[in-house]
Structure 1
Amino acid sequence: FAELQTDIGEMTNDLCHSGVPFHDYRIFCMKILFPNATDEEKYMMLHHVELPVNASRLNNIHQGLRLLGQLLYNKTFLLLLIQALEADKIRFRLFDRLTFASIISILLQDKLEYFTEILKILLADLIDKQLQQDRNNSKILLRSNESVAEKMLTNWFAFLLYHYIRDHAGSPLYILFQSVKQQIHKGPVDFVTSESRYSLSEDKLIRQHVDYNSLTILVSELDSKPVPVKVLSCDTITQVKEKILDTFYKGIPYSKRPNVDDFELGIVFCIKILFKTLFKKYVR
């Protein structure tokens, strides 16, 4: 327990210097609204990309977008549009429903009161339909995230919770995650099955006895000063690489870290260390 407390204290001190690697609001929303977006689609969403449009059509496009915006803020039109699309179960598939819900959420996020009002009506209709179809399965409502209303609810929570997560809840959750991860990796972890000696789940415990020793290796990147990294004698090469990355890139978002396959490990034989060892052994 004392060792764990020390590790948490060191981790908290590191976070005071580097900070928790939060995504900014745009990237956070993009990952919630469009979790399966391709790299090209992500680039288009995060950068102001002007599409090639003829000047003669530009005014018509702007006028059409203004008229569409007026229609979307017409409650009757928007509700009828969503109901009509969801009624077409064949052509309006799951992917289309989720994408449409996210696009509508983006367009309505500047007017959250109106967004909330629309969402309450859609959820009320969804609950009524579920109760009419099967009252026994009412407990699983909102778990499937298969309707426009369910996806809009997820997006609504994301819009409202971002600042609370960043300012209050995010740091304790991040410290908890890192502490649990650190504690689990103090013992053997099966690289293939992810079973571990210090697993929180009994289903993922390593049943057989594994002999291992704790090691501290000195790792240097090019000509930089060596940094101590704690590993286990039973770790795979990939697991050692992951622990090296965790040490070298503290506070750096995982999306900005190099991949474990991007670098190789090598043994550097230090003449100075060898000389000191021999001197201590043979000279009194």
Structure 2
Amino acid sequence: MAKQTKDPNEMSFLDHLEELRWHLIRSTLAIVLIGIVAFLMKDFIFDTVIFGPKKMDFPTYRLFCRIATWLGFESAFCAESLPFTIQNRTMAGQFSAHIWTSIWAGFIVGFPYVLYELWKFISPGLYEKERRNSRGFILIASLLFFIGVLFGYYVVAPLSINFLGTYQVSKEVLNEIDISSFISTVRASVIACGIMFELPIIIYFFTRVGLVTPEILKKYRKIALVLVLILSAIITPPDVASQIIVAVPVLILYQVSIYISSVVLKREAKKTKKNAQSS
């Protein structure tokens, strides 16, 4: 009986785990290093970025104020200041907020490198043609993520802060927002939108592995619309205008995902036909 020879280039399961461990270590180090830089830039990170949506000179508020003035409406976006204060009620609250905000800033800024490490791990398992066709993966995925982050920061976060910060059940109750609550609102808006804008990339890979097709996406479009509205209601203030503002770009991305899915299937069909003719 002939002895089977093992391919020297083939990696065992433990080898894959070891390789994945080093990719995760490098990604974590990148996030930590960028986080250290963000930690040292405390004034910019907090006074300019985090607390920017609390100030009424924030670009979003100025834009909505101009639109309301042009339409002849009175708007809360034209107020001189938001009627709430930010406070800290725990001994280590501000230090903890500083640490975790720096780490999240490291993740957001270092997202392209994290994707690069992920791509380096999965790319050896792809065919050469598949690697060539996916060269723009890191660039496109990073671009979509940063567009989502900007959308969350300039649209979702200020709408949420303006609505929730001015909402009162009674004038007897003052809005004194804890720093962790305020930061979590900004962070959730930014991260959630960044991930939502990755929908075309997710659909691309799901189509490649056969989990979704354009027909499935079209068939469940109405269900997707309901899910998008529910998701919009979770990450935005409970008013119709804010939900629509968030839902519209997500629905556009859903339509783009249907187109991407159809393109992927057409390419696969052409590839299959070409292989059949050559054989």
Q: Which has the higher helix share?
A: 2
| Normalised TM-score (structure 2) | 0.21
Higher relative contact order (CA 8 A, sep 6+): 2
Task: Decide which structure has the larger Cα Rg and report it.
Answer: 1
